[in-house]
Every structure is written in C-alpha cells, then in structure tokens.
A = this chain, B = another copy of it.
Amino acid sequence: MNLHQFRFVQEAVRRDLNLTETAKALHTSQPGISKGILELEEELGVDIFARHGKRLRRITEPGQLVLQSVEIIMREVANLRRIGEEFSKQDAGTLSIATTHSQARYVLPEPVAQLRRRFPKVQLVMHQGTPGDVARMLADDVAEIGLATEALADVPGLVTLPCYEWQHVLVVPAHHPLASVDRPTLEQVAAEPLITYHPTFSGRSRIDAAFAKARIKPNVTLEAIDADVIKTYVRLGMGVGLVAEMAVRDDPPGGDLAWRPVGHLFGPNTLRVAFKRGAYLRHFVFAFAELLSERLTRALIERAMAERPGSHPTSYEL
C-alpha cells in the first residue's frame, strides 16, 4: 500500500476508468498505473474495479468504500502540503481560485488587488469555468476557493457560504423606450428580443423560472457566457439584455446604454463562496474570503467547515 497507488485509483476514477488517460494525467507510464492498481487490489484482497476481459468497466462495491478512504487520504496529503507552505514560507504560497466569468471580471479585481498588496508573495491562479466546473475544481483539489452563484450550494463535499445578494438588470440602448420605464414588467421584457446568459450561468435559471411561472415564452436571441458580449450586442440593437448588476455597476451613466434593476421580476441571487470540506485553509485564504465580503469572517468560515455534513446550515446563513 502506498500513496502512489491511492493517487492512481483516484485519478482513474476521475478519468472514467481509462488508465491510458490516467497515465497521461499523472505523467507516468500506463503499465505503471495498471500495476499499481493491481497490486493494491492484491494487497487488499479485493477488486476495486470490475473488468470485462482487460477493460475496466465499473467500480465494485468494495471499490466504492476504498475510494472513499482514498479520497480522504489524498485530501489530507494535500492538507499536509498546505500546512508545510503555511509555516515555511511566511505569507507565501499559491492560491487557486475557481470562478465564473462574471465574478472574475466584475467582482474579483478589487479583492485580488488588495490581496496582492497584503500578500505580495502569494501567487494567484484563476481558473474560469461554469458553476459546475467550479464545483468540480474544488472537489479535485484544482482550486482551493470557489465563487459562483449557482450549483455550489448542494454539492456534497463542499462547504459554501453566502457572499452577497445581487439582482439582474435590464440593459437597453440609451434611447430605447424601456430606458424610461421605472419598473419594467415581464411582458414588456418578453416583447423584446432577449440577450442573456447561457443556461449554466449567473442566475439564468432564475430568469427561465420567472418566465415559465408567468407562462410567457421569451424570445432569447443570443446566449453568452459573459456580460461584455451581451452588452456589445445590445449596443448593436440586436435586443435588450439581462445581466447581473455587477456588470453595469461601474459603467458611467449617460453612455450609449441604459439599465433598470429588475430584481422584482427575477428575484434575488446569492453569490456563494465554496471550499472543499476538510480542507486546511491557510491564513491568506481566510484573508481573501474576508476581502470578498463583509459578511465573511474567519470565525464564520471555520464554524461552517466544522459543521456536520448532513446537517443544514444555520446562523451564518442569515
């Protein structure tokens, strides 16, 4: 039994039981992977994978249990490295952030700049993706802290905390009739060609839900993954845009675009920060979280991380 074998099993599962892929991912030879897994199975006296001839088909029942233990072990190995970093290199290390475009573009610049000022020796790495990608990057130890509006709250193995609430805004060309309507209605919005986020992003599900509930079928002309693209096409007159308020917060008024908050139509959205359960968080990770939102404190995060997996969030949700 050794850590290499554990890593092989873990990565093989992540690569859909394809050992060739696993070998590439781990920068080693494929026979080595095969041998390692075989040896572990031999030592435990149990098949971790069910094989069809020479091909790996699925994870066996004991394999599931083995995998659980392996995941815990690899998590703690990652923690050991972080502990080493935390204490050896004072205020230095690498912080990997997983996030969506919206946050990376409109929310993170400020806290990131502050963190760089306070911890100049911390190397920041940003990973961009869908909210689902964010969750996966945390689970796979690719990122240490994740930020997204959706899909994080209910992922097992993650600890999430609310960061702040935001609402959608309707973006129209400056001289569009809707620019002068204070509280646009769903019907008014639906009458226009719509440009908004791709379904996997930034509260798009809220938009769909609101229209569905009112039994209105909006005419979505274009789906983008970021607000810059949406605004560009609104400028071109292709329709009206629905974006997160962060995307227009810093735009000067009186430009070629106007916007109206439409939280009353699509409800509030919550940006959440997420960590992998059981992760050892270095002090600059806490510091970064505190920079993200007034609502986040080290004590609060530590309490949330200690919470029992099954139990439901309590006070810190308020």
Task: A280 to B64: give the CA distance in the assembly, Å.
Answer: 13
- Choose among B45, B61, B80, B307 the residue that contacts A1 (Cβ–Cβ < 8 A): B80
Report if A43 contacts B (CB, 8 A). yes
Considering only residues 252-302 of chain A, those with a C-beta below 8 Å from chain B are 280
A76 to B79, CA, bound (A): 15
Interface residues in A67-107 (C-beta closer than 8 Å to B):
69-70, 72-73, 76-77, 79-81, 83-89
Q: Is A66 part of the binding interface, using a Cβ–Cβ cutoff of 8 Å? A: yes
A308 within 8 A of B: yes
Q: How far is the CA of A317 from the CA of B43 in the complex (A)?
A: 40
**How many chain A residues have a CB neighbour from B under 8 Å?**
33
State whether A280 touches B62 (Cβ < 8 A): no
Residue contact A69 to B80, C-beta cutoff 8 Å: yes
Residues of A within 8 A of B (CB): 1-3, 43-46, 61-62, 65-66, 69-70, 72-73, 76-77, 79-81, 83-89, 280, 306-308, 310-311
24 contacts between A and B (CB under 8 A): A1-B80, A2-B3, A3-B3, A44-B84, A44-B88, A45-B85, A45-B88, A46-B83, A61-B87, A62-B86, A62-B87, A66-B83, A69-B76, A69-B77, A69-B80, A69-B280, A72-B73, A72-B76, A73-B73, A73-B76, A76-B76, A306-B310, A308-B308, A308-B311
A304 to chain B, nearest CB (A): 12
Select from chain B the residue with minimum beta-carbon distance to A80: B69
Question: How many angstroms between the C-alpha atoms of A80 and B10 in the bound complex?
Answer: 14
Contact assessment for A1 and B3 in the assembled complex, using a CB-CB cutoff below 8 Å: yes
Q: Which residue of B lies closest to A83 (CB)?
A: B65
- The answer for the CA separation of A81 and B73 in the assembled complex, in Å, is 14
A43 / chain B contacts, CB cutoff of 8 Å: 84
Q: Of A77, A84, A85, which is in contact with the most chain B CB atoms at under 10 Å from its CB?
A: A84
User: What's the least CB distance linking A241 to chain B, in Å?
Assistant: 45
Residue of B nearest to A44 (CB): B84
Given contacts A43-B84, A44-B88, 12 further A-B contacts (CB under 8 A): A1-B77, A44-B80, A44-B84, A62-B86, A65-B83, A65-B280, A72-B72, A72-B73, A73-B73, A306-B308, A308-B308, A308-B311
